[in-house]
């Protein structure tokens, strides 16, 4: 599973072929990779408070951890549902549905890894984070072959998938953060 994740990150086209050949179940990917990485992401929200920005309070770090975890957790389920509704052929069989889940998971795992790095490094401008967020649409596009999509259909799936996987966590984080600021203020 970790080999699959690394391969998708390093070489998306070959990586998706590796995923296609592997016998990794979606449930295993969720329970042994995605959920633990969400936990690491949540824990990484405490690094700035502990390591280099002592103005951040425990409450702020805890809030950031919950928002980060929740944003990606919800994004997985929403992205699978929206892509399945927009492209019914992606969920017409159990195998197709599992492939869609895997497709979303591998892409989100990349974003979670980038977010962990962003939380740990003590700067707001990080080329690695920006490059990571720009890289996901490419990985998503290369993964459309894993879903069996070709041509314009592949492009549409990659665009909608990328928009959901990149935009939804940011939107959810923004909404939850702004609601907390309003209630605290």
The string of pLDDT tens digits covering residues 53-108 is 888 889 889 998 999 999 999 999 999 999 999 999 999 999 999 999 999 999 99
Residues 6+ apart with CB under 8 A from 137: 158, 159, 162, 166
pLDDT tier for residue 181 given thresholds of 50, 70 and 90: low
Q: Which of 83, 76, 77, 65 is nearest to 176 (CA)?
A: 65
Which structural domain, as residue segments, surrounds residue 159? Answer: 2-184
Count of domains in the chain? 1
Tokens describing residue 79:
């992205």
- Helices of type H across the chain: 2-10, 12-21, 26-29, 35-44, 47-51, 58-86, 94-120, 127-143, 151-184
pTM of the complete model:
0.90
């Amino acid at each position: 599973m970790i080999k699959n994740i690394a391969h998708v990150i390093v070489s998306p086209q070959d990586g998706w072929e590796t995923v296609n050949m592997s016998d990794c179940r979606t449930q295993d990917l969720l329970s042994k990779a995605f959920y633990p990485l969400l936990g690491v992401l949540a824990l990484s929200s405490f690094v700035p408070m502990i390591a280099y920005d002592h103005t951040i309070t425990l409450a702020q770090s805890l809030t950031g951890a919950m928002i980060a975890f929740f944003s990606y957790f919800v994004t997985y389920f929403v992205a699978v549902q929206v892509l399945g509704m927009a492209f019914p052929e992606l969920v017409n069989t159990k195998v197709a549905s599992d492939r869609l889940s895997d497709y979303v998971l591998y892409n989100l795992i990349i974003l979670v890894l980038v977010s962990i790095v962003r939380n740990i490094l003590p700067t707001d401008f990080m080329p690695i984070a920006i490059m990571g967020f720009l890289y996901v649409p490419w990985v998503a596009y290369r993964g459309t072959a894993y879903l069996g999509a070709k041509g314009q259909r592949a492009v549409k799936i990659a665009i909608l998938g990328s928009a959901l996987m990149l935009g939804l966590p940011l939107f959810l984080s923004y909404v939850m953060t702004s609601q907390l600021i309003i209630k605290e203020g």
